[in-house]
Structure 1
Amino acid sequence: MQQEPDKSGNLILKELHGHFHVIGDVHGCFDELLALLQKLGYEVYDDSKTGKYRVTPQEGSMAVFVGDLVDRGPNSPEVLRLVMDMVEQDVALCVSGNHDDKLYRKLMGRNVQVRHGLELTVAQLENYDKAFIDRVREFLGHLPHHIILDDGRLVVAHAGLEERLHGRHSKSVRDLCLYGPTTGELDAHGLPVRLDWAADYSGVAVVVYGHTPVREPRWKNNTINIDTGCVFGGKLTALTYPDHILTTVDAFDTYAESIRPFLQPTAH
């Protein structure tokens, strides 16, 4: 079962059932990711002979990454190497985040603004050979924008997705998965004003997402935001599904300063 989205950019794997460990925005925090995986019962071995990580989960478990593997943090290339190896070994799935997509466009030679942490990732990748860069480009270029699991009861998208769009594809659906809905205006920090799509969610599927840092994992209407801002000195969080157990690792350092204040948690 290699991760490969259909032509629409969706990855519908309803026949796959948990336990899933859905992991929030990593943003290059490699050491914290290793610590979190260890806490979740994964064994990670760096095989110097093959140049690949060998990862053994607990039986019946699989990791699912909500995207934004890269940028701002200290070691985006090793996060990519680990996640690519996990996906290749069928012990993980991953959706694209907006930062992953921007790195892909940069690697494709497109004109993108090298800021918001991308400049760090580009510099870090200079230490890796062309074969690795080519592998990263291929991997990022084939990431789905959302994944549907467990008979449709679990949906993972980087910025979330309202129920009527689950399993759908268009440029607007893809943009919603990567960036979330916005008003089209900019806030005082010069960033897009985001709409809280989860406030009106009434779907059966649990939607797990990240993208907007929160102090604590935020449940709202059968959705949960698990981007707890590890790269900003917060935590790296995993949601175990279907048990709804939260596992966290505190950031080992503050690697970047958040322009926008963290959202405060609200009740389940």
Structure 2
Amino acid sequence: MSSEQIRAAARFTLITLALAGTYLLLQQVWMALGGLGADWLQARQNLTLVDDAQVLAARSREAEARLPPQRRVEAFRLGQQMGFLAEYLGSHALSDAAVRAQAEARAAPLAAQAGTLAEALGVAPAMWPAASTADEFARLQARFEADETGLAGRIEAALSPRHRALYLLGVHVGINRAVVQSSGGTFFNGLSASQLVRHATLAGLPPAWWEPLSRAPEGATPEARQARFIAAIEALDAALAAPPGATR
């Protein structure tokens, strides 16, 4: 190869490397800009939720002034029961009759507790979206959000709009409780977690109360993951049950 050919090959290599470097740099820039765009959009959504929470608080103020404070945690507990039952029983919907019967028997005490609580709140019957097909089960979160059974609407009418948000917060906590318990902490429903964040924000709850429930629990063993998630639920329940202002 002549010296001219060597110089030409070297120039070609340098140009190729320069173009590749420029491409990679531009790729990183666009990725960074994309990340900034996503962060900006999330920030805008969060600000909108905070504004919506203030509106919800104003709409709820008069009703909440005449309601016992424990109605807050009761609405949350009822939601958690409905979410758990819907997820747990729905996950057995395609099983054979014997397995479904066993699941229903195990769930019966919780369903009875939910019925009693709904009666006490004046929002009975305590009904969750039942699933008999894979499609119905896959749309569980959307069906709760659409208030297929009318329970959320009855809670809003009997209690307040903010109690409805607490109920739906409980629903999504209950769904993931069933997911975490049945999978030993291996699985976690991100869609319910995102709805949890939404309803907790609308209810005006401090993030420290609910953030541990917005992500999959950590732990070296299934037992540790389940225990961590249950502890986070119990901490949120305790915070809601505490006298107003006691845990803020």
TM over 0.5: no
Larger Rg: 2
Structure having the higher strand fraction is: 1
After TM superposition, the score normalised by the length of structure 1 is 0.30
Structure having the higher helix fraction is: 2
After TM superposition, the score normalised by the length of structure 2 is 0.32
